[in-house]
Structure 1
């Protein structure tokens, strides 16, 4: 049932290892589908090429959304849940049979959903708003995938109970696993919300229920659609802490505060779903303001804590190794040649400066009106789910390949460049999309020239420049993603085996020397970067309030 890892010395349940491997492989397959779809969308929305016909544009948009935002990330997260509750805790899998059931249901759901989309039976976009109606097979596929993922989450909790009962770890959960607990709690609420709305929608598509109220559908669906991205954010930050530990031996300088920040996520992060409803007439103004300000600030505070805690963990470890000159000697001498480290650090920067800043603006009732249903919204997604979560998960695989698949990383030189290519592409794509949205470019419209329409509209000439940046960023990001997929597939299926520590291309960092007594801040460089971020955030926020005032003139 077990093997002893030659690298870490931990016991690895072979049944859990197989499930981790299979879910990770399906994650890569899902991402490949999503990346191909992304390239087609970039070449269609860029008016110079305008590749796809209108019906295939919306079909591929549905395909991209579900594979890139749902299937790829949740398959990877289930693999991460099994890893964090068995391998990391030196424990066993609670029920491999249910693990296989979860995997089969998820794969079956993945196949059914993609089949219905590609055959034209589900041209409803990822949101599938009623009264748009897809084939019953589409809704069945979503339900099967969600049920499988929910079983995987329950297995995670069962694994934790076994590890606790058998005392396979210390007095408290490792911070990485604790973060996964928060993600799993959010996932339980999210997937349950999906069942609440998709089961009656399935019955509606079968003709058993006569109608679905469009307002109720949208309200409940976003408890799944947006909250699923909050699972990703929480899991991403858990990976940040893991990456800091593996690459430089960094640990949070105050674990209690980091744990409280994860608890704040559980309490307040799902209310961010409300920003999709801020122009709807159904919810009251009081509900909108409450959800998008007072409660949402709990999650914003948690994000700010993590944004300081992870880089400061790196800085503290680096300073204890002797990199103490000035504010940023620790950063200059960081292991930038380690793709796991560069992926995590770039993920933090992109998520914070692009995804986080724009997310607060999008999520406030007042400023949301500026960008609602424009290209700015998916631009924000690119900064969070792609530049943040996907890049962090990519970085984690550079350790999972040798530790779980026991293979060396193929094309290691290419691997060093991959996070930079992908990160740069996503950053340019996200920023250009957000600016295009600020100029009023619609979010989902197939043709911004409105050719053949009953009206015409001419955008600011600056839009043409940002469309070029959009294309450059999108194509660069696709190249970076395909580089990662090539590295992973070749490594897993054709790579050389790892037989011991001598075969590890990325060493697991040893603990840094004990801290010496000193006066002043523990991490002055991180404090400086955090203050810089706050300055950028305040400037961007004030600009948006200024733009809002210009839109709503009072005479």
Structure 2
């Protein structure tokens, strides 16, 4: 006999919440935040080593920390939180039961196991291949096993999300089209399936190569397929955090897009074009044709960027419209001045929008130009760009929605509310300055991944070549 699903009514929002969905949202979100803290610690170690005055870690530990930081922040933290968002955008927003909760726990267990195995092998010191793990660098076989297990768990979560949409439609828990926030989560889910498929195509053969069952992996083929996963995983973030922007605009202001059809079409440009725009990571590869590179980094990228520009204008626009309906009509910007800047939900979201749009978006398009890319690709400009997108954009948006989810899901008020008001400004402005100066240093030629950014070891007498007489 199948147990009848248990629901409760949220005292803050009035939403009907399925208890199994709530448990899975909580555990995935909390795990994500723990991973963010761990990955952030590794990032601090990397920064203190790159700082010439401190130069904290020796070379081997630096690359260990860099590998762990990249995997935990760019992949594990984001995807755990996005799984929580998918469950929220389906079961909670549609006021439906979650499809197959038991499989949700299987997915969670696989993701935790996979992330744990990969981190374990990195910390052992024999898998410091960085997040990209380019061949012919070879990690421990279990490093790849961990990534594959994590990907399988995330894929199961995607299908649970899709199943929940089917359940909600069949049980008529909503009318008409799915809400825009859920549509954004659906976009993220579709991109995630593509991303995980790309990862499977390349990581499974790489695992077989690491155990000696395959003799050779072509480096160019590896890079092309890997970036189908690596770049697209960040587009999951983009689709998800823009859904968060729309959600916060609706929650705080009752705002609706001026044209929801346009916003949905903007999401579709991500599905159609963002993946092919990943070629900007491959512009210096001699094995790819110029026609391929130019198409991907011009027409393909511009169409994807068009979607982000639409969202970047629509979200503030719908907030402005909602504020003006409330009477904030004096001058051009009273609606913005009178926004709840002391509420971390709003300040985190709006700073995320500004930093992602101006720092992340503009720098990404700049890097996509082939001539500029050749000069800056192996410089610190590149991590400056993705810190502006993933940290200042995605992470800050996820922090903002967390301030809403804590009272809704845990039924508790925030502790230290004064500090919570300051946190988005501290993190957002700090990360914005950090990203901007990394990009500035990159234009001056500072290397991207080298342990010693000053290359001081090349000036030691034992390593200096004798000058010709």
Deviations along 1:114-151, whole A, 9 cap, x unmatched? Answer: 10111112110110000000111100000000000010
What is aligned with 2:52? 47
Aligned to 1:237: 242
In structure 1, how many angstroms separate the alpha carbons of the residues matched to 2:340 and 2:454? 47
Offset, 1:366: 2.8
* 2:345 is aligned with 1:334: no
**Shift of the alpha carbon at 1:449?**
2.4
Tell me the secondary structure at the aligned position of residue 3 of structure 1.
Answer: strand
Consecutive unaligned residues of structure 2, counting only runs of 5 or more, are 1-5, 462-469
| Cα offsets for 1:293-351 (capped at 9, x unmatched) | 11111111111100110000110110000000010000000011110000000001100
1:324 counterpart = 2:329: yes
Note the C-alpha offset of 1:250. 1.3
Matched with 2:428 is 423
1:135 aligned onto 2:140: yes
Distance 1:50 1:362 in 2: 29
* Partner secondary structure for residue 380 of structure 1: helix
1:355 and 2:353 matched = no
Quick one: which of 382, 392, 395 aligns to 1:390?
Answer: 395
SS in 2 for 1:211: coil
Instruction: Say yes or no: does 1:309 pair with 2:314.
Output: yes
Contact 2:32–2:77 (CA under 8 A) maintained in structure 1? yes
Task: Please name the residue that 2:31 is paired with.
Answer: 26
1:110 paired residue among 99, 112, 115: 115
Q: Distance in 2 between matches of 1:199 and 1:248?
A: 47
Deviation per residue, 1:156-187 (Å, 9 max, x gap): 00000111111111211111001111111011
Q: In structure 2, what is the Cα distance between the partners aligned to 1:337 and 1:169?
A: 34
TM-score normalised by length of structure 1: 0.81
Deviation of the 1:448 alpha carbon: 2.2
Partner of 1:530: none
Corresponding position of 1:262: 267
Does structure 1 residue 196 correspond to structure 2 residue 215?
no
Contact 2:344 / 2:424 at 8 angstroms: preserved in 1? yes
Q: Does 1:177 align with 2:182?
A: yes
1:15 aligns to 2:7 (yes or no): no
Deviation at 1:455, TM superposition (A): 10
How many Å separate the matches in 2 of 1:455 and 1:441?
A: 20
Task: Give CA-to-partner distance per residue, 1:199-233, whole Å, 9 cap, x none.
Answer: 01111111111111111111110111111001101
Post-superposition CA distance 1:26-78 (Å, at most 9, x none): 10111011110111111111111111100000000001001111111000000
CA distance in 2, matches of 1:448, 1:426: 20
Q: How does 1:54-69 map to 2 (within 5 A)?
A: 54-69=59-74
| Aligned residues between the structures | 456
User: Per-residue CA shift, 1:481-517, capped at 9, x if unaligned?
Assistant: xxxxxxxxxxxxxxxxxxxxxxxxxxxxxxxxxxxxx
Partner of 1:291: 296
Moved more, 48-57 or 9-18: 9-18
Structure 1 stretches of 4+ with a deviation exceeding 6 A read: none
* Alignment partner of 1:124 is 2:129: yes
Q: Structure 1 regions of 5+ residues with no counterpart?
A: 457-555
CA distance in 2, matches of 1:421, 1:434: 20
Range with bigger deviation, 242-251 or 432-441 = 242-251
Separation in 1 of the partners of 2:336 and 2:458? 54
Q: What SS is found at the alignment partner of 2:456?
A: coil
User: What is the CA-CA distance between 1:367 and the residue it aligns to?
Assistant: 2.4
Provide the C-alpha distance between the structure 1 equivalents of 2:376 and 2:175, rounded to a whole number of angstroms: 48
Per-residue deviation at 1:373? 1.1
* Residue equivalent to 2:226: 221
After the TM superposition, which of the residue ranges 264-273 and 235-244 deviates more from structure 2? 264-273
Question: Equivalents in 1 of 2:258, 2:108: separation in Å?
Answer: 38
- Distance in 2 (CA, whole Å) between partners of 1:305 and 1:159 is 29
Give the Cα separation in 2 of the matches to 1:455 and 1:145: 44
Coordinate RMSD, CA, aligned: 1.1
**Per-residue deviation, residues 522-553 of structure 1 (Å, max 9, x unmatched):** xxxxxxxxxxxxxxxxxxxxxxxxxxxxxxxx
